[in-house]
Amino acid sequence: MHHNPIIIENLTYAYPDGTQALSKINLAIEAGERVALIGANGSGKSTLQLHLNGIILPQSGRIKIGKWWVDADNLRDIRNFVGLVFQNPDNQLFMPTVWDDVAFGPKNCGCQDEELVQRVQQAMMMVDIDPERYGARNTENLSGGEKKRIAIAGVLAMKPQVLVLDEPSAQLDPRSRRQLIELLKSLSLTQLVATHDLDMALELCDRTVVLSQGQIVYDGATEKIMSNPDFLLQHSLESPLSYSRPYCLVKDFLIN
């Protein structure tokens, strides 16, 4: 595993209409780290994530993924190195059957026959989707939680070293959300999780990066930022539920 899989230096990006989406982003993520990326809607989380896979190339500044600089020549290696899980699984599951969809990435890497079968099976087992039962099923007729896990399997099948997820827990019921959290915990990859689900961020990630209007306004320990409601509110966020119930503290009960 690469020791410093993501280095971003002075990254700036403006949309074609001139809106500044990211300005002067500096970020380094170490191997095996699980980092939460939080921020209001439109704060630039998704734009930043698309850069990590080379879907958007840096306008100014530079990004190093593993040993490659993100530019048009290295896209193939970078996309094998970074797995991107999109927010809406309907956009990511585009093949007719579950098996075909999970096999899409490895096939593009030139994987064939026995190796392909093995990779697809392994990836499906990792997300707890039974290849026998689900393989031939239509990707359309699945529950939200299943779709999400299969979307992740499709990325895992490419054997990436970094997993980048865009709001993975959105639109999931509590049980599917729990399964997802356990799944992400069980994966030893470097992870960058963009989310509004601060309880999940708190549970999964030791480190949190807060984006606000395209800039990094905080980068540090998750617990420290979650216990600072004023700062969160200032950036259109809110303390996680587990922090916002002071009456749950046993100490308070004892005083009363």
Partner 1 sequence: MLLLHLGAFHLDIDSKQATFWHSLAPRTRLLCALLMVFAIALTPNGRWWTWAIYGLGVLGVVFFSRVTKKVLLKRIAVEFAFIGTVLLGTLFRDGGEVLWSWGILRITTEGLTVLGSVTIKALLSLLTLNILTLTTSVPALLNALTALRVPPLLVATLASMYRYIGVLIKEFQAMRKAAASRNLARNNVWQRFVIGNMMGTLFIRTFERGERVYQAMLARGYQGVPVVEKVPSGGRRDVFVLTFTIILALLGQSIYLPY
Among residues 54, 213, 231, 194, which one has the least CA distance to residue 62? 54
Residues 6+ apart with CB under 8 A from 155: 83, 84, 85, 105, 163
Nearer CB in complex with partner 1: 108/143: 108
Nearest distance in Å: CB 235, partner 1: 27
Binding string, residues 190-209; x marks residues near partner 1 by CB under 8 A: --------------------
Pairing status of strand 20-29 against strand 34-39: unpaired
Range in contact with partner 1 (rule: CB under 8 A) among 20-28, 87-95, 167-175, 243-251: 87-95
Partners of residue 165 on adjacent β-strands:
85, 193
Question: Nearer Cβ to partner 1, position 164 or 232?
Answer: 164
**Alpha carbons 193 and 34: distance in angstroms, whole number:** 8
Interface map 131-170 toward partner 1 (x if CB under 8 A): -----x--xx-------------xx--x------------
DSSP state letter for 92: H
- H/E stretch holding 76 reads helix 75-81
Torsion sign, CA atoms 204, 206, 211, 215: negative
Give the residue, chosen from 86, 134, 218, 243, that forms a contact with partner 1 under the rule CB under 8 A.
86
Binding residues for partner 1, rule CB under 8 A, total 32
Rule CB under 8 A: which residues touch partner 1? 50, 53, 55, 76, 79-80, 83-84, 86, 88, 90-97, 100, 104-105, 107-109, 112-113, 136, 139-140, 154-155, 158
